[in-house]
Structure 1
Amino acid sequence: MTSHDHTPNVFDPATAANPYPMFARMRASGPVVQIDAPTAYNPTGSATWLITGFAETVRFLKDPRFTVDASAIHPDAGVFGHSAEGGAQEQSFLGAKTMVSVDGAEHTRLRGLVGKVFTPRYVETLRPRIQALTDALIDRVQDSGRMEVVADFGYPLPIQVICEMLGVPPTDMKQMQVWSEGLSDHANPQPEVLRDFSAYVMQLIAHKRARPGDDLISGMIRLEEKGDTLTEGELMATVGLLIFGGHETTSNLLSIGILTLLDHPEQLAGLKADPGRIPAAVEEILRYNGPVFSPAPRYAREDVELGGQQIRRGDVILAALGSANHDERAFTDPEELNLARELNRHVAFGQGVHFCLGAPLARLEGEIAFETLLRRLPGLRLDVPRDQVVWRDSTQLRGLKTLPVAF
């Protein structure tokens, strides 16, 4: 791998808390820049490119000349660039194909099956239950006047919601949280966690086949029985993806969102005074300080010109969503948090056919969480000095390790 001395290390955990000055410098040198990437992102040693511009990100994420399926370019590569040979991958949700790791007809089929049971209309029916779960979490801490946002709220709320949707027994939710921690960096998942989590998912599916309920897993099994088939591997991979994807980014959105609001007290006060602005505030938090560094890497199917750069077949391309969302060419005063921002066409959920299926659920959970926290926790404030807030050192997902608050 060649070294690009002028290129900052975008995977450096030290930049996790505030990558935006680095992104601004990169945009100044062009909307598409060559970078060094860890082997997990680029197992073949091809050139790796990072897209920093908004227009280029939108164009790239909608362009069929780029594929998420590494094996379409490099036959020996597995999902997400992982080797397909043996190991824990074989029987794991990272080792089988999901709607995140394929394109074209396969993607349409897999996404269509999940989309039939995971609809925006269905998500809206969850509102009362999400509200009840939110209130129950706040009830536990209300009298103490203190809370650790990540452990007491940000993590438990989304994991409870997705586990109930999928029909995971309440007694298993704590274990899900432990496994998720071990899988939070997809580029370097812990093999034993991958194996145990995948074995659990297989048991859960077998249980649902024997005793179906009105949950999403039973719904996918019913679709399968109508002849719209998901293979056992695809079903396992999809359930794993939903458990993981259904809470990880949302939990990061909640904790980052609270920190962002505490960093902007005037805007926080305005939001308390007018809770009707919370849906727009969720969109602006997603734009201003979103939880995802980049969607899954894509691979060039052919030689392509993008953003003034010549990209070769097999090259790896990542889209820095946070950089696109701070592009001066696309947003007025992008470095300013503006909770009343109009026409907020951010790309925090991606674009194109791989647009995040869980976006309606993340938005709903964000709206309910922020509204309830602001209403029920008066005088909300940080309970540690600002420079003691610690970010997680994951390359793919941005999130906080802890966020102690008082009220």
Structure 2
Amino acid sequence: MSTPLPTPRDFPMRRGCPFVAPEEYAALRTEDPVARVTLPTKREAWVVSRYDDVRELLSDPRVSADITRPNFPALGEGEQEAGARFRPFIRTDAPEHTRYRRMLLPVFTVRRVRAMRPAVQARVDEILDAMLAGGGPTDFVAAYANAVSTSVICELLGVPRENLEFFRDVTRISGSRHSTAAQVSEALGGLFGLLAELVAQRRDEPRDDLISKLVTEQLVPGHVTTEQLLSTLGITINAGRETTTSMIALSTLLLLDRPDLREELRRDPSLMPAAVDELLRVLSVADSIPLRVAAEDIELSGRTVPAHDGVIALLAGANHDPEQFDHPERVDFRRTDNHHVAFGFGVHQCVGQHLARLELEIALETLLRRVPTLRLAGERDEVVVKHDSATFGLEELRVTW
């Protein structure tokens, strides 16, 4: 006689502190590492919370990222329906996923990204100049974090950046667990309309940007359709700017809370690359982005996830696993062997991770160096946190200097 499964827990679980995983994750790792949950859509799925299990799950070829599968564990109805319609490549399997990933990989190599440092530094300085000239108090998320991440990805692609809040609004709607399919489709439709105009322009007048490269090398020869190219460009913008915006804002809040860490980085700026990786581990803003479906029965930590069931790899659970990280709640910029999974793992690991690291290093180093008096404007509990978005982060952070 089989043992009955525990009553499903509600998911997602909220963070009590923005700098640590939800408190329930510790209990899950110890008591129920492969746990049955109920999603906001009322569907049931599994969540995996141990570091070793998360890596094993995300590298298992028997696991599918295809959003069109019936039990795909989307956290909102809008995400499921719109994703099935627009087919972002991160929600597909090989060989389709492989083909699109190979299109983008040459642009995001370590060498290519390293060559972008002077341009990114100049843009960050320009954005900070504008924020300082505007005076405080101001919303740091809009004035700096979103401005940096959106400007960098738009300039890489060759997208005009006159209206930075437009891109933020698209992501806010498309990434919300409360958005309907119609709302997500309308938001993405506006983005794709803008991109379609640019694609048409680059057919006639190619430039030195990613859109031109993809139009010339992929669209014109017929390797992809216009719709497939627009979907690839759209997810590159959405994913590229939202996670980095969240990381810049949350990292800044953490450093404002911890003057000892600020001073450590000011005394030794060479720590910044390691500090960025530690902040990526601790904050884990893409915690529940890795949504999967078991194509076959899969066993993890002694429990079987049946074929066709949805399963979610909890990146924050893995990144705060004490079996892998000594004192995982401690922010340690000198931590060694920091093999976190903040960018995922396996074949779907974030293609833009080198660019994200570069943006974070430059954005935080420049802020610490140029605005040593930066501080919160208002009370700490007035900081507006995003709990119901695909990417964890801050909606607003009022600062002055």
The TM-score normalised by the length of structure 2 is 0.90
Could you report, residue by residue, the CA deviation over 1:80-139 in whole angstroms, capped at 9, with x for unpaired residues? 997999x8x4xxx76233430212222211111122334332222221111111111211
Q: Does residue 342 of the first structure (1) align with residue 336 of the second (2)?
A: yes
Residue 329 and residue 162 in structure 1: after superposition, are their counterparts in 2 closer, same or farther (change >3 A)?
Answer: same
User: Which amino acid counterpart does residue 35 of structure 2 have in structure 1?
Assistant: V
Q: 1:160-309, aligned counterparts within 5 Å?
A: 160-185=151-176, 188=179, 190=183, 191-224=185-218, 227=221, 229-309=223-303
Q: Does residue 102 of the first structure (1) align with residue 73 of the second (2)?
A: no
Aligned partner of 1:26 in structure 2 is 28
Q: Does residue 10 of the first structure (1) align with residue 5 of the second (2)?
A: no
User: Which amino acid counterpart does residue 69 of structure 1 have in structure 2?
Assistant: D
Give, in angstroms, the shift of residue 338 of structure 1.
Answer: 0.8
Residue 263 and residue 232 in structure 1: after superposition, are their counterparts in 2 closer, same or farther (change >3 A)?
Answer: same
Q: Secondary structure at the match of 1:364?
A: helix
Aligned partner of 2:312 in structure 1 is 318
Give, in angstroms, the shift of residue 31 of structure 1.
Answer: 2.0
Could you report, residue by residue, the CA deviation over 1:124-173 in whole angstroms, capped at 9, with x for unpaired residues? 22211111111112112335354422011011111111111111123354
Q: Secondary structure at the match of 2:26?
A: helix
Aligned partner of 1:158 in structure 2 is 149
The TM-score normalised by the length of structure 1 is 0.88
Aligned partner of 1:364 in structure 2 is 358
* Range with greater deviation from structure 2 (261-270 or 156-165): 261-270
Contact 2:137/2:400 (<8 A) preserved = yes
What is the distance in 1 between the residues matched to 2:72 and 2:8?
A: 30
Aligned partner of 1:140 in structure 2 is 130
Q: Secondary structure at the match of 2:104?
A: helix
What is the distance in 2 between the residues matched to 1:84 and 1:183?
A: 7
Residue 392 and residue 141 in structure 1: after superposition, are their counterparts in 2 closer, same or farther (change >3 A)?
Answer: same
Choose from 384, 387, 395 the match for 2:381. 387
Contact 1:80/1:101 (<8 A) preserved = no
Contact 1:96/1:237 (<8 A) preserved = yes
Contact 2:8/2:35 (<8 A) preserved = no
Q: Does residue 64 of the first structure (1) align with residue 65 of the second (2)?
A: no
What is the distance in 2 between the residues matched to 1:306 and 1:153?
A: 42
Q: Sequence identity, in percent?
A: 34
User: Which amino acid counterpart does residue 67 of structure 1 have in structure 2?
Assistant: S
What is the distance in 2 between the residues matched to 1:204 and 1:78?
A: 33
What is the distance in 1 between the residues matched to 2:379 and 2:211?
A: 44
Aligned partner of 1:54 in structure 2 is 51
Report the count of equivalent residues.
393
Give, in angstroms, the shift of residue 23 of structure 1.
Answer: 1.2
Aligned partner of 1:38 in structure 2 is 40
What is the distance in 2 between the residues matched to 1:134 and 1:252?
A: 16
Could you report, residue by residue, the CA deviation over 1:268-323 in whole angstroms, capped at 9, with x for unpaired residues? 11111111101100000111112112224100101121122111111100011111
Could you report, residue by residue, the CA deviation over 1:174-203 in whole angstroms, capped at 9, with x for unpaired residues? 432332322232773623222222222222
Residue segments in structure 1 that go unaligned for 5+ positions in a row: none
Give, in angstroms, the shift of residue 219 of structure 1.
Answer: 0.4
What is the distance in 2 between the residues matched to 1:78 and 1:378?
A: 44
Residue 395 and residue 171 in structure 1: after superposition, are their counterparts in 2 closer, same or farther (change >3 A)?
Answer: closer
Residue 77 and residue 277 in structure 1: after superposition, are their counterparts in 2 closer, same or farther (change >3 A)?
Answer: closer
* Range with greater deviation from structure 2 (131-140 or 350-359): 131-140
Give, in angstroms, the shift of residue 226 of structure 1.
Answer: 7.1
Q: Does residue 398 of the first structure (1) align with residue 392 of the second (2)?
A: yes
Residue 272 and residue 232 in structure 1: after superposition, are their counterparts in 2 closer, same or farther (change >3 A)?
Answer: same
What is the distance in 2 between the residues matched to 1:356 and 1:385?
A: 35
What is the distance in 2 between the residues matched to 1:238 and 1:269?
A: 41
Q: Secondary structure at the match of 2:387?
A: coil
Cα RMSD (Å): 2.8
Residue segments in structure 2 that go unaligned for 5+ positions in a row: none
Contact 2:49/2:314 (<8 A) preserved = yes
* Range with greater deviation from structure 2 (363-372 or 197-206): 197-206
Contact 1:79/1:101 (<8 A) preserved = no
What is the distance in 2 between the residues matched to 1:98 and 1:178?
A: 18
* Range with greater deviation from structure 2 (322-331 or 111-120): 111-120
